[in-house]
Amino acid sequence: MELDYALIGQRIVRCRKRKKLKQAKLAELAEISDQYVSNIEHARSIPSTEVIMRLAIALDTTPDEFLVGTARHEGERWKDIAERLRVMDDKQLDLAESFLSWLSEQK
């Protein structure tokens, strides 16, 4: 499955505007730079899994909304998972990302 980063950026913009947030405020909430937010929204940067999770938390949605265009709001379970990812080091995040990629390919 090939990800369309331009489309992901557009979805992030849509969510941000729906929340009436400027890029700088979203960046502050997600603890990233406003230039990085701009680069993600314009598909000049590819966000890591952790950054996608941070943006989802900041915009009170799920990563699904950015990645596939629909949000899952089945309780707060995804936020618990996001918080676990936030404290992982790069090696653990790489492993988690690999596992999630594999898992998403399973039927």
Residue-level pLDDT at 1: 59
Whole-structure pTM value: 0.66
Round to whole Å and give the CA distance between 11 and 49.
16
| C-alpha span between 26 and 4 (Å, rounded) | 21
**61: containing domain:** 5-105
Rounded to 5, what percent of the chain is helix, strand, coil?
A: 65, 0, 35
Number of domains in the chain: 1
Block means of pLDDT (10 residues each) for the chain, length 107 residues? Answer: 86 94 96 96 94 92 81 62 82 87 78
pLDDT value, residue 18: 92
The Cα–Cα gap between 56 and 41 comes to 14
What pLDDT is recorded for position 71? 61
pLDDT at position 76 is 63
Q: What is the CATH number of the domain that holds 100?
A: 1.10.260.40
